[in-house]
Amino acid sequence: MEAAAKLGAVGGAAIHALAGFELPAGEASGTLDTPTYDSYCYDIDRTWAENLASGPSRHQGPQPERVWAPEDKWFDFLGHKLASPLGVAAGPLLSSEWIELAGARGFDCVTYKTIRSHYHAGHGLPNILYLNTEEQLQAAGPTTAAPLQAAPPGSGPRRQLAITNSFGMPSRGPGEAAADIRRAAGLLAPGQMMVVSVTGTPGRPGLSFQSDLEAAARVALEGGATVIEVNLSCPNVGASHVALYLDAPAVGEAVRGLKQVVGPVPLLLKVGAYPDTDSLRRVLAEAEAAGAAGIAGINGLSRRVEAPGGGPALGPDRPTSGVCGDPIRGAGLDFVGQARQIIAADSLGLRLVGVGGVTEVDHAFEYLRAGADVVQSATGFMWRPNLGLDFQRRWVASGCSARGDGRGGR
Ligand SMILES: Cc1cc2nc3c(=O)[nH]c(=O)nc-3n(C[C@H](O)[C@H](O)[C@H](O)COP(=O)(O)O)c2cc1C
């Protein structure tokens, strides 16, 4: 691990130089003992394509044994039997190899990363930077306008696991994606399920956003997808896309069009945080009326991120990016609490997936108590190798109860 951390410092030096950081003497040599913040399954100093090619092979140490809930405690989720309500959110599972890893690490509802209808390279490096922040970010509160600061190499966050990511949703071509999706589903155990995330691309010649989105859904179906999640919320792809999840009529239209294509396959909608309860209520009502099966949120909170010396940390063309991990847990829990309250009050038949800042077992139980049917982690999955298996021990010891205290009852 130590050697790997040193290697990470070398790669990190190159990346941070790219991002305009001043490197303290010694760091570029790779001799500095950096804190072990590295993801155990994704090398942030290499491109997405390089990671995809090499697979999730680094830093995989010993792991505790998986504990399974008895089958009579498994529950139905969108037509599947789930052994537990923990999963991985869209993004970190690049291919069938990561799907297999997540399943083996105790994550039962795993989302295959967002695919497009066509090959898309996404952004170059850097794609992930650590953030120097200890605050909890609000969805649309006073911190919205204030920039956050990226951490210089080797001085990443100690208390909070806080990152920003900006990948531009890279995607393999449709044939490769469909074949790998099919392979991935076959690698999961009974009690586990896979969701396939899709998105549309604005501005493709001769295609509307909607028809491109539907084409992406067809790729997922070709791969045998049994649940499809539509990413309506990615903060990184330009103005026309940013607001879709906030625009209730547009959400309804997108879902109605997609339902024509996917038929009985359940549709989850991936959304970001809402500025107020009324706008969330309008979207939930439209989503249900149009035939969506559930809602998943939140995506990373979009913020300006600056390098320590000033200027956009990801370069001038990417002044904002999605903040993920610990700082957004409060916003994610607020979203789930409000959505659960609306679903109950308005008798909506929507399932609810909670996402945002789940980096410890306790956080997952907080989400379940707030009303999530399923809770997923992205950053926590990538940086905490035993999060899933530790969760499973607590889940089973607690009698499969959201209280997580052994007193039973969800
Ligand atoms: C490396 C990475 C890549 C991501 N890519 C996607 C994506 O392709 N599609 C998507 O809907 N969300 C994506 N997300 C957002 C996550 O699904 C999740 O909503 C967000 O990270 C908040 O959860 P977290 O705090 O557990 O990371 C990505 C997140 C990370 C960390």
Contact present, 227 and 196 (Cβ < 8 Å): yes
Ligand 1 pocket test: pick from 115, 165, 231, 361 the residue with the most ligand atoms within 8 Å of its Cβ: 165
Q: Which atom of ligand 1 is nearest to the CA of 111?
A: 17
Nearest CA owner, ligand 1 atom 4: 91
Residue 29 has pLDDT above 60, yes or no: no
Q: How confident is the model at residue 25 (pLDDT cuts 50, 70, 90)?
A: very low
Round the average pLDDT of the chain to a whole number and report it.
86
Nearest CA owner, ligand 1 atom 15: 299
Distance CA 276, CA 147 (A): 22
End-to-end CA distance of the chain: 39
**Residue 270 structure tokens:** 């991936």
Q: Output the CA 324–ligand 1 centroid distance in Å.
A: 7
**What per-residue confidence (pLDDT) applies to 357?**
98
Distance CA 357, CA 343 (A): 23
Q: How confident is the model at residue 409 (pLDDT cuts 50, 70, 90)?
A: low
Q: How confident is the model at residue 35 (pLDDT cuts 50, 70, 90)?
A: very low
DSSP code of residue 217 = H
Q: Output the CA 24–ligand 1 centroid distance in Å.
A: 31
Cα four-point dihedral sign 167, 298, 354, 329: positive
**What per-residue confidence (pLDDT) applies to 407?**
58
**What per-residue confidence (pLDDT) applies to 146?**
81
Residue 33 has pLDDT above 70, yes or no: no
Q: What is the pTM of this model?
A: 0.90
Mean pLDDT of 194-222: 95
Q: Output the CA 90–ligand 1 centroid distance in Å.
A: 6
- Please give the residue that has the higher pLDDT: either 99 or 153: 99
**Residue 383 structure tokens:** 């940086």
DSSP code of residue 73 = G
3-state per-residue secondary structure call for 315-329: CCCCCEEEEEEHHHH
Ligand 1 pocket test: pick from 109, 113, 161, 379 the residue with the most ligand atoms within 8 Å of its Cβ: 379
**DSSP H stretches of helix in 70-109:** 96-104
**Residue 178 structure tokens:** 């469909």
- ipTM for the predicted complex comes to 1.00
**Residue 243 structure tokens:** 């607001």
Task: List active site positions.
Answer: 234
pLDDT digits (tens, 9 = 90+) for 245-283: 999 999 999 999 999 999 999 999 999 999 999 999 999
- Please give the residue that has the higher pLDDT: either 264 or 239: 264
* Token pair 């070709």 in the structure block, residue: 222
Q: Which atom of ligand 1 is nearest to the CA of 231?
A: 11
Nearest CA owner, ligand 1 atom 23: 356
Pocket of ligand 1 (CB under 6 A): 89-92, 113-114, 165, 167, 169, 197, 231, 234, 270, 299-300, 324-325, 328, 355-358, 377-380
Q: Output the CA 171–ligand 1 centroid distance in Å.
A: 15
Nearest CA owner, ligand 1 atom 3: 91
**What per-residue confidence (pLDDT) applies to 21?**
37
Q: How confident is the model at residue 31 (pLDDT cuts 50, 70, 90)?
A: very low
- Please give the residue that has the higher pLDDT: either 402 or 159: 402
CA dihedral 351, 406, 378, 75 (to 10 degrees): -40
Nearest CA owner, ligand 1 atom 6: 91
Distance CA 395, CA 410 (A): 11
Contact present, 187 and 99 (Cβ < 8 Å): yes
Ligand 1 pocket test: pick from 39, 324, 361 the residue with the most ligand atoms within 8 Å of its Cβ: 324
Mean pLDDT of 390-406: 90
**Residue 396 structure tokens:** 């089973």
Q: Output the CA 31–ligand 1 centroid distance in Å.
A: 32
Nearest CA owner, ligand 1 atom 2: 91
In order of their start, the domains of the chain are: 71-398 (3.20.20.70)
